[in-house]
Amino acid sequence: MLSIQNLHAQIEDDQKMILKGLNLEINPGEVHAIMGPNGAGKSTLGNVLAGKDGYEVTEGSVFFKGEDLLSLEVEERAHAGLFLAFQYPVEIPGVQMLNFLRTCTNETRIARGLPELNGMEFLKLARAKAAELKINPDMLKRSVNSGFSGGEKKRAEILQMALLEPQFAILDETDSGLDIDALRIVSEGVNALRDAKRSFLVITHYQRLLDHIKPDHVHVLADGQIVRSGGPELALELEERGYVHYEKAA
Amino acid sequence: MAATADTVERVKKISAETYKYGFETDIEMDRIPKGLNEDIVRMISAKKNEPEWLLEWRLEAYRRWTQMEEPDWAKVSFPKIDYNDYYYYAAPKSVADKPKSLDEVDPKLLETYKRLGIPLDEQERLAGVAVDAVFDSVSVATTFKHKLEEVSVIFMPISEAVEKHPELVRKYLGTVVPTTDNYFAALNSAVFTDGSFVYVPKGVRCPMELSTYFRINAQETGQFERTLIVCDDDAYVSYLEGCTAPMRDENQLHAAVVELVAMDNSEIKYSTVQNWYPGDENGKGGIYNFVTKRAQCRGVNSKVSWTQVETGSAVTWKYPSCVLQGDGSQGEFYSIAITNNLQQADTGTKMIHVGKNTRSRIISKGISAGRSDQTYRGLVKMLPKAEGARNFTQCDSLLIGDRCGAHTVPYIEAANPSAAVEHEATTSKVSDDQLFYCRQRGMDEEKALALIVNGFVKEVLQELPMEFAVEAQALVEISLEGSVG
pLDDT tens digits, residue range B335-348? 999 888 888 999 99
pLDDT band at B14 (very low <50, low <70, confident <90, very high): very low
Q: How far apart are the C-alpha atoms of A43 and B165, rounded to whole Å?
A: 74
- B458 or A108: whose pLDDT is higher? A108
| Alpha-carbon separation of residue A3 from A6, A36, A76, B9 (angstroms) | 10, 20, 18, 34
DSSP H or E stretch at residue A62: strand A55-64
With bands split at pLDDT 50, 70 and 90, how would you rate the model's confidence at B459?
Answer: confident
* Residue B171 vs residues A55, A81, B166, B266: alpha-carbon distances, Å: 69, 69, 8, 18
Pick the residue from chain B with its C-alpha nearest to A95. Answer: B455
- Which chain A residues have a beta carbon less than 8 Å from that of B428? 93
Predicted local confidence at residue A48, as pLDDT: 97
- Give the integer Cα–Cα distance in Å for B104 and A147: 60
Cβ distance B348 to B378 under 8 Å?
yes
Instruction: Measure CB to CB from residue A103 to each of B2, B451, B459 and give the nearest one.
Output: B451
The predicted structure's pLDDT at residue B13: 44
Share of chain B above pLDDT 90, in %: 47
pLDDT at A80: 96
Distance CA B360, CA B322 (A): 9
Q: What is the pLDDT of residue B15?
A: 36
Look at residue B27 in the predicted model and tell me its pLDDT. Answer: 72
- Does A154 reach chain B within 8 Å, measured CB to CB? no
Residue A53 contacts B where some CB pair is shorter than 8 Å: yes
pLDDT at B10 over 50: no
Q: Check pLDDT > 70 for residue B328.
A: yes
A171 contacts A86 by C-beta, under 8 angstroms: no
Q: Is any Cβ of chain B less than 8 angstroms from the Cβ of A228? A: no
Burial B109-119 (b: 16+ CB within 10 A, else e): bbebbeebebb
pTM of the shown model: 0.82
Euclidean distance between CA atoms B164 and B158, whole angstroms: 10
Cα–Cα nearest to B293, from B311, B305, B303: B305
Give the mean pLDDT of chain B.
85
Beta-carbon neighbour count of residue B143 at 10 Å? 23
pLDDT in tens, B268-325: 999 988 887 778 777 788 888 999 999 999 999 999 999 998 888 888 999 999 999 9
B227: β partners: B258
B233: confidence class by pLDDT, cuts 50, 70, 90: very high
For residue B26, the model assigns a pLDDT of 74
- Of residues B159, B137, B166, the one with CA closest to residue B40: B137
Q: Where are the domains of chain A?
A: 2-246
Residue B318: which of B414, B243, B412 has the closest Cα?
Answer: B243
Interchain CB distance below 8 Å, A92 and B437: yes
Report angle CA B34, B181, B219 to the nearest 5 degrees.
Answer: 25
| Neighbouring residues of A38: CB distance < 8 A, sequence distance ≥ 6 | A205
The answer to whether residues B478 and B6 touch, using CB atoms and an 8 Å cutoff, is: no
Instruction: With beta carbons less than 8 A apart as the criterion, state whether A137 and A127 touch.
Output: yes
Three-state helix/strand/coil letters over chain B: CCHHHHHHHHHHHCCHHHCCCCCCCCCCEEECCCCCCHHHHHHHHHHCCCCHHHHHHHHHHHHHHHCCCCCCCCCCCCCCCCHHHCECCEEEHHHHHCCCCHHHCCHHHHHHHHHCCCCCCHHHCCCCEEEEEEECCEEEEECCHHHHHHCCCEEEEHHHHHHHCHHHHHHHCCCCCCCCCCHHHHHHHHHCCCCEEEEECCCCECCCEEEEEEECCCCCECECCEEEEEECCCCEEEEEEEEECCCCCCEEEECCEEEEEECCCCEEEEEEEECCCCCCCCCCCEEEEEEEEEEEECCCCCEEEEEEEECCCCEEEECCEEEECCCCCEEEEEEEEEECCCCEEEEEEEEEECCCCCEEEEEEEEEECCCCEEEEEEEEEECCCCCCCEEEEEEEEEECCCCCEEEEEEEEEECCCCCEEEEEEEEEECCHHHHHHHHHCCCCHHHHHHHHHHHHHHHHHCCCCHHHHHHHHHHHHHHCCCCCC
Give the whole-angstrom CA distance, residue B96 versus residue B99: 8
Question: Which pLDDT score is estimated for B283?
Answer: 76
- The rounded distance, in Å, linking the Cα atoms of B28 and B123 is 27
User: What pLDDT sits at residue A25?
Assistant: 96
Residue-wise pLDDT tens digits, B254-267 = 899 999 999 999 99
pLDDT of residue B380: 97
Taking only the tens place, the pLDDT of each residue in A2-24 is 999 999 999 998 889 999 999 99
At B76, which amino acid appears? Answer: V
Provide mean pLDDT across the span A113-133: 93
Q: Which of A58-62, B71-75, B213-217, B443-447 has the lowest mean pLDDT?
A: B213-217
Query: Using CA atoms, how far apart are residues B339 and B398, in angstroms rounded to an integer?
Result: 11
Q: Assess whether pLDDT exceeds 70 at residue B350.
A: yes
Q: Which of B6, B441, B443, B459 to probe by mutation at the A interface, max A CB count within 10 Å?
A: B441
CA dist B10 and B5 (Å) reads 9
pLDDT score for B6: 47
CB contact under 8 A, B454 and A95: yes
Distance from CA of B451 to the nearest CA of A (A): 7
Among chain B residues, CA nearest to A89: B437
CA distance B6 to B12: 10
Q: Which residues fall within 8 angstroms of residue B24, CB to CB, at 6 or more apart? A: B217, B246
Residues of B within an 8 Å Cβ radius of A: 1-3, 428, 431-434, 436-444, 447, 451-452, 454-459
Phi-psi region of B223 (alpha: psi -120 to 50; beta: other; left: phi over 0): beta
pLDDT given for residue A102 in this prediction: 95
Average pLDDT over residues B184-212: 92
At B35, the amino acid letter reads G
pLDDT tens-digit map of B373-400: 899 999 999 999 999 999 999 999 999 8
Which one is predicted more confidently, B414 or A182? Answer: B414
Q: What pLDDT, on a 0 to 100 scale, did the predictor assign at position A189?
A: 86
Q: Phi and psi at residue B190, in whole multiples of 5°? A: -75, -40
Looking at residue B20, its pLDDT comes to 67
Q: Give the DSSP letter of residue A71.
A: G
- Span B96-139, pLDDT tens digits: 666 666 677 777 777 777 776 666 665 555 556 677 777 776 66
Please report the pLDDT score of residue B248 as a whole number.
65
User: What number is the average pLDDT over the span B423-447?
Assistant: 92
Please say if the pLDDT value at position B85 is more than 50: yes
List chain A residues with CB under 8 Å of B441. 78, 100, 104, 107-108, 160, 164
Q: Do B439 and A74 touch (CB under 8 A)?
A: yes
d(CA A102, CA A119): 8
Instruction: Report percent pLDDT > 70 for chain B.
Output: 85
A176 at interface of B, judged by CB pairs closer than 8 A:
no
The stretch A139-153 carries a mean pLDDT of: 92
The torsion region of residue A69 among left (phi > 0), alpha (psi -120 to 50) and beta comes to alpha
Is a pLDDT exceeding 50 seen at residue B484? no
Kindly report the CATH number that applies to the domain delimited by A2-246. 3.40.50.300
Q: Is A96 on the interface with B (CB under 8 A)?
A: yes
Cα–Cα distance between A96 and A122 in angstroms, integer?
14
**Which of B70, B43, B34 is CA-nearest to residue B190?**
B43
- Whether the per-residue pLDDT at B475 is higher than 80: the answer is no
